[in-house]
A and B are shown apart, each in its own frame.
Chain A
Amino acid sequence: MLEDDHELFRVDARRRLLLIGGLGGVLFSVLGIRLFHLQLLKGGEYRDLAENNRISLQPVPAPRGHIFDRNGSILVENRPDYRLAVIPELSGGLPKTLERLRAYIEITDKDIEGILKQARKQRSFLPVKIRSHLTWREVSRIEVRSHLFPGAIIQIQSRRHYPFGSLGAHVLGYLGEITETDKRDFTDTTFLGMEDAHLVKRDLNDVRFRSGDLVGKTGVERRFETVLRGQEGVRKMEVNALGRQVRELGHSSPMPGDDLYLTLDIDLQRDTEAALGEKLGAVVVMDPRTGEILAMVSRPAYDPNAFIRGFGPGQWRSLITNPGRPLTNKAIQGQYPPGSTFKMVVALAGLAEGKIGANDRVVCNGHIEREKVRFHCWKKSGHGSVDLVQAIAQSCDVYFYRLADKIGIDALERYARKFGFGELSGIRLVGERPGLMPSREWKRARQRAPWYPGETLITAIGQGYVMATPVQLASMVATIANGGILYQPAMVRPGNKSTAVVRRRIRIDPQHLALVKHGMEEVLNGSRGTARQAAPKGVRAAGKTGTSQVVRQKREESGKAIPSSDPRFQDHALFVCYAPVESPELAIAVIIEHGGHGSSAAAPVARDILERHFARKNAGLET
């Protein structure tokens, strides 16, 4: 019975299999007939096409998108670039042509070696690049004597130009020749991130990367490579059997890359760079109402144009071996102990946890003892009896030691994380580093040691393990300024419109906030504030100084021979602030590496920025 059933199925299935086989046979025959048609009947025709009328398709590079600041000032543009190439086949001996060219343009022996090597690698009718960035003089010298250089062609390409030189260099980034890693990154659709994917108006499948292409290596140029990059066009050339181009058969125009509007304000950026001068460090200026980055500076800087022009011998070496790390964007990659700028977070944690009231006072006599260790206040003589506002204004360490004792590391860590410490801010630049907010678990995992109460004390004054980037500090002070909204720092304005992304809303009791803000106002405006000399004129600001003592330990470790005046062992100076206090428009974080005290080194930088900005703004309002 079952056997029958199965046999029945088998008979039917066999018939159907034969049908599939038959279909396969028919289809194979169709392929065969088509091949017969293509290869035997029309073979001669196609052979002519292949041999005598070789069609060569040449990519026509697309201009890269421009980059503007928020007000439409151009930050990055393209300029024509003349390059010389030679088609070896037509040159009548490439080495001879090169020798002749040397009389008119500069070509080194090493260049010649590379050019000949490249020429051997490719077909002899394809042009070999001799030199880029020819000056107009060089171009005309060659053009006039073109009969001397058969096969030489001048190609015009567009070349990236940064009109402001090193201004904003770390934000803009620079271009370099594409590597395999770059190619992988850029063809990865997640590279740009979900929130910016809509900026790409072209089909990523049509965006091509070729070896030798210049692509963004860092900064905005890298992060938004797929946006800025255009879609190359093609020139269809008829090439004769010798490889000479006979005529153009048609072309499709390249599609230029999309322009990008940054959140930067070029005037504010210029002010900020001027205020910082040549001091090592970084400054971040943020709009606390939107999280937009208005200015971002890292020092020392570099000129992105140099990457286009090419470096002379030694120039590149000095750039990468410079101990100041000019290629690092310290605003997002530099991780520093936040020092006393961290105290606002500790104060808000203490208030929220009910560990301290507005009028609770602590007597500071210059130090406290914990576990037989003496923890010093920066002011050896002590601050006397201080309340919360004065503790912030005078940056009393003892007050925060006692507060930290009550809060404990767990609650402190929780609060600090709310403000973005220890996590990436999500700024749309590549290479951001997360800083570090230590916890019991972290220490157990990383140091294989329990958390000691004394470590809570030094954490509370922003020392010890805690590390923050300048952009994190700017975010923190912006969050205080705007009443508790932690924004994702924005770098671009799609369609030149603001798009604020809220990372998190922190619930802060308005009274608590008012106390902390009062303390910060006193820092600049109070009679005993740590930065009272740095109060800006023309605008009322609130801020907090910080001095991070990273190297003191090293100094002690390395013996006492090193004089404290050695700049490498100076403390980092920090200052964070916002202004105007009534309705904050700017939030600033300044860090001066080895600058000494926050009050004397960092706060004046912020003051200069604020004074210049609000002076210009007020002038603008009056006219």
Chain B
Amino acid sequence: MARADDNKNFLSSEDAVALRLRERLARFPWGLLLLLTLAACIGLTVLFSAVGRRNIGMLFSQTVRFGFSLVLMVILALANEKVYRRYAYLIYGLILLMLVAVAIMGDVGMGARRWLEIGFVRLQPSELMKAAIVLALARYFHDQSASPLRLRDVLIPLCLILAPLALIVHQPDLGTAVIVAVISGAVIFVAGLSWHAILATVIIVPASFPLLWNFLHDYQKRRIFTLFFPEDDPLGAGYHIIQSKIAVGSGGLTGKGFMGGSQSHLDFLPERHTDFIFSVLAEEWGFLGAVILIVIYGLITLRGITIAVMARDRFGLLLASGLLSLFLFQVIINIGMVIGLLPVVGIPLPLVSYGGSSMITVMLAMGLLAHVSIHSKQHGRAV
């Protein structure tokens, strides 16, 4: 407890003056917002091609969602300093409760319980947990700043991670579970996990795979299996991967042009507007289009790293690290699975895949990131 108080003093001694709204707006990372908008615009264009004129309503609602989440991002970013640190555990606790509620009475879609109906809002608490777990871990390591962290220092954080993880795996939502695990790992890593402990993890985690294998659903096992041998099951689980690879590969250097993707338009490609939207982009815009989007993603990640480095305190630094990891790994896992490098686990492509929960989670994370940036140590030096 004493340490937490010290930190408070340390912070207030440095800069006790709360920023005015105008200053906050001036310090807002507008470049980041521009990059996000660029990615979302590419996303909307590809989505238009993917869903076609007949489902123009989907394009409309996706645009509305982006506009809404943009506003949400700005609001979150402009919040008072320390408010997220103060309520980190509360937010985490609330969302954990929502996950429990989902397990007990959640709405079931396609054989999995993921949604919670509150009034007229349909929430997917597992999505929100991605941000909440980062908040909770950042708060924990802010308060407990042992360095380097040994395995016993991370026992409580592990509990913080495993509780929601178990609930998410139970839903079952393997994709989200993987993301939660990866970003939690990233936060612990940045918080200073000792290299010995990292080595131990690297040995223990793969060793525990056979054990975890038994907890997977049959269809999940099959999906992982066909990752390695997709051609073995061309009509079953390998189908997505093969069709997606054909779509991507046939795009060539410059693509077949807007609305010109034969592969993605002949209904060969399932879920082309959600998890597999990248293959529509790669088919129609070719290598150049795909690389442009990846570069934009890279720039957003890079901006996230500079924000983390410039963060005023440990909480801000860890929060930014976790959020940028969230973004980075969602991008990498989604694209990796679409082009046949990783198993198909159902992770949306940030800002581009169709869907409300995913869009809001990404922009919510970006809002928190911008918040850290606004309250950073040396403003103006950031890239």
- Residues of A bordering B, CB below 8 Å: 2-3, 5-6, 8-10, 12-14, 16-21, 24-25, 27-28, 30-32, 34-36, 38-40, 42-47, 49-51, 54-57, 123, 184, 187-190, 203-206, 234, 236, 250-252
Task: Closest B residue to A46 by CB, please name it.
Answer: B249
Given A8-B147, A205-B110: A47 in contact with B250 (beta carbons within 8 A) = yes
Q: How far is the CA of A6 from the CA of B324 in the complex (A)?
A: 21
Are A43 and B252 within 8 A (Cβ)? yes
* Chain A residues positioned under 8 Å from B290 (CB to CB): 35, 39
Question: Which residues of B are found within 8 Å of A123, using beta-carbon distances?
Answer: 266
List CB contacts (< 8 Å) of B281-326 with chain A: 282-283, 286-287, 290-291, 294, 297-298, 301-302, 305, 308-309, 313-314, 317-318, 321, 324-325
State the CA gap A51–B256 with chains docked (Å). 11
Residues in A with CB closer than 8 Å to B31 are none
Chain B residues with Cβ below 8 Å from A36 are 287
Stretch in contact with the other chain, from B38-46, B82-90, B152-160, B333-341? B333-341
Apart from the given pairs A13-B309, A46-B249, A188-B109, 18 other A-B contacts in the complex at a CB distance below 8 Å: A9-B147, A13-B191, A13-B318, A16-B192, A20-B189, A24-B298, A27-B336, A39-B282, A39-B286, A39-B287, A42-B249, A45-B249, A47-B249, A47-B250, A54-B268, A188-B107, A234-B235, A236-B235
- Give Cα distance in the complex from A206 to B148, angstroms: 48
How distant is the Cα of A454 from the Cα of B125 in the complex, in angstroms?
54
Tell yes or no: B100 within 8 A of A by CB: no
A243 CB to nearest chain B CB (Å) = 9
B10 touches A6 (CB 8 A): yes
Chain B, range 186-222, C-beta contacts under 8 Å to A:
186, 189-192, 217-219
User: In the complex, which residues of chain B have a beta carbon less than 8 angstroms from the beta carbon of A20?
Assistant: 186, 189-190, 305, 321, 324-325, 328
A24-B301 in contact (CB<8A): yes
Q: Are A9 and B145 in contact (CB under 8 A)?
A: yes
| Interface segment out of the listed B16-24, B239-247, B361-369 | B239-247
Q: Could you give, for residues 237-278 of chain B, a 1 whenever the CB lies within 8 Å of some chain A CB and a 0 otherwise? A: 001000101111111110000000011001010000000000
Binding site for A on B (CB under 8 A): 6-7, 10, 107-111, 113, 145, 147-148, 186, 189-192, 217-219, 234-236, 239, 243, 245-253, 262-263, 266, 268, 282-283, 286-287, 290-291, 294, 297-298, 301-302, 305, 308-309, 313-314, 317-318, 321, 324-325, 328, 332, 335-336, 339-341
- Are B305 and A17 in contact, CB atoms less than 8 angstroms apart? yes
B290 (CB) vs chain A CBs: closest residue: A35
CA distance A18 to B266 in the complex (A): 43
Complex partner residue of B248 from A38, A190, A206, CB under 8 angstroms? A38
Among A6, A13, A39, A55, the residue within 8 A (CB) of B268 is: A55
**In the complex, A6→B377 CA distance in Å?**
12
Question: In the complex, A484 Cα to B214 Cα: how many Å?
Answer: 45
Contact residues in A for B190 (Cβ distance below 8 Å): 13, 16-17, 20
Do A12 and B266 touch (CB < 8 A)? no
With most chain B CB atoms within 10 A of its CB, the pick from A18, A31, A204, A250 is A31
Chain A interface main SS type: helix
15 contacts between A and B (CB under 8 A): A6-B10, A9-B192, A13-B314, A13-B321, A19-B189, A20-B190, A27-B332, A39-B253, A39-B287, A49-B246, A49-B250, A50-B250, A189-B113, A250-B234, A251-B235
Contact of A205 among B219, B309, B317 (CB under 8 A): B219
Contact with A203, one of B217, B243, B282 (Cβ below 8 angstroms): B217
Say yes or no: B246 contacts A46, CB within 8 Å.
yes
Given the known inter-chain contacts A38-B339, A188-B108, please indicate yes or no for A3 contacting B321, CB distance below 8 A.
no
A38-B268 Cα distance, complex, nearest whole Å: 18
For the complex of A and B, the 8 pairs showing the least CB-CB separation, nearest first, are: A46-B249, A50-B250, A204-B111, A43-B252, A38-B249, A47-B250, A46-B250, A39-B287
CA distance A14 to B109 in the complex (A): 42
The answer to whether A9 touches B246, judged by C-beta atoms less than 8 angstroms apart, is no
Cα A250 to Cα B243 with chains together (Å): 16
Q: Are A40 and B235 in contact (CB under 8 A)?
A: no
Chain B nearest CB from A20 CB (Å) reads: 6
- Nearest Cβ in chain B — how far from A108, in angstroms? 27
Contact, CB under 8 Å: A34 / B339: yes
Task: Name the residue in A3, A45, A47 with the highest tally of chain B Cβ atoms < 10 Å from its Cβ.
Answer: A47
Whether B339 lies near A31 (C-beta < 8 A) is yes
The closest CB in chain B to the CB of A190 belongs to B108
- Enumerate chain B residues within 8 angstroms of A40, measured Cβ to Cβ: 252-253, 287
Instruction: Find A28's partner among B192, B297, B341 (CB 8 Å cutoff).
Output: B297
- A47's contact among B243, B252, B317, B340, by CB below 8 Å, is which? B252
State whether A57 touches B235 (Cβ < 8 A).
yes
Contacts of A252 in B (CB 8 A): 235-236
A55 to B269, CA, bound (A): 11
- Measured in the bound complex, the distance between the Cα atoms of B345 and A610 in whole Å is 60
A166 to B335, alpha carbons, bound, how many Å? 55
Complex Cα spacing A405 to B286, Å: 86
Closest residue of chain B to A48, judged by CB?
B250
* Smallest CB separation, B252 vs chain A (Å): 4
User: Nearest Cβ distance between residue A185 and chain B, in whole angstroms?
Assistant: 10
- A30–B291 Cα distance when bound, in Å, is 12
A46–B242 alpha-carbon span in the complex (Å) = 10
Q: How far is the CB of A33 from chain B (nearest CB, A)?
A: 10
Give chain B nearest CB distance to A433 CB in angstroms: 24
What residues of A have a CB within 8 angstroms of the CB of B339 in the complex? Answer: 31, 34-35, 38
Q: Which of B6, B219, B252 contacts A39 (CB 8 A)?
A: B252
In the complex, what residues of B have CB within 8 A of residue A16's CB?
189-190, 192
Q: A227 CB to closest chain B CB, in angstroms?
A: 15
CB distance from B239 to the nearest CB of A (A): 7
CB distance from B294 to the nearest CB of A (A): 6
- A343–B335 alpha-carbon span in the complex (Å): 71
Give Cα A193 to B77, complex, Å.
45
A6 to B248, CA, bound (A): 47
Most buried by A among B6, B113, B263, B340: B263
Docked pose: A42 CA to B246 CA in angstroms: 10
Bound complex: CA A263 to CA B200 (Å): 59
Bound-state CA distance A18–B340 (Å) is 27
Q: Which residues of A contact B263 (CB under 8 A)?
A: 50
State A28–B292 Cα separation when bound (angstroms).
12
Partner pick for B246 among A13, A50, A205, CB 8 A cutoff: A50
Query: From residue B69, how far is it (CB to closest CB) to chain A in Å?
Result: 23
Q: Which residues of B contact A251 (CB under 8 A)?
A: 235
Cβ–Cβ < 8 Å partners of B247 in chain A: 50
Q: How far is the CA of A123 from the CA of B325 in the complex (A)?
A: 42
CB-CB < 8 A to A9: which residues of B? 145, 147, 192, 314
- A123: nearest residue on chain B (CB-CB)? B266
User: In the assembly, what is the distance between CA of A36 and CA of B287, in Å?
Assistant: 7
Q: Which of A19, A24, A30, A189 has the most CB of B within 10 A?
A: A24
Asked if B234 contacts A39 (CB within 8 A), the reply is: no
Expressed in whole angstroms, the minimum distance between the Cβ of B258 and any Cβ of chain A is 17
Nearest neighbor of A207 in chain B, beta-carbon distance: B111
A32 contacts which chain B residues (CB < 8 A)?
A: 291, 294
| B248 x A35 contact (CB < 8 A) | yes
**With A and B bound together, what is the CA distance between A31 and B287 in angstroms?**
11
From residue A47, how far is it (CB to closest CB) to chain B in Å?
Answer: 4
CB contacts (< 8 Å) of A57 on chain B: these are 235, 239, 268
Closest chain A CB from B6 CB (angstroms): 6
A203 near B266 with CB under 8 A, answer: no
Q: Contact check: which of A30, A51, A187, A206 meets B108 at CB < 8 Å?
A: A187
**CA distance in complex: A24, B189 (Å):** 15
CB-CB under 8 A from B324, the residues of chain A are 20
Q: Contact at A25–B10, with CB atoms within 8 Å?
A: no
Q: Chain A residues near B301 (CB, 8 Å)?
A: 21, 24
Chain A residue at minimum C-beta to C-beta distance from B7:
A2
Please determine whether B332 and A39 come into contact, CB atoms closer than 8 angstroms.
no
Contacts A16-B190, A38-B339; A50 near B332 (Cβ below 8 A): no
A12 touching B147, Cβ below 8 Å = yes
B308 to chain A, nearest CB (A): 5
| Contact (Cβ within 8 A) A2 B253 | no
Contact (Cβ within 8 A) B262 A250:
no
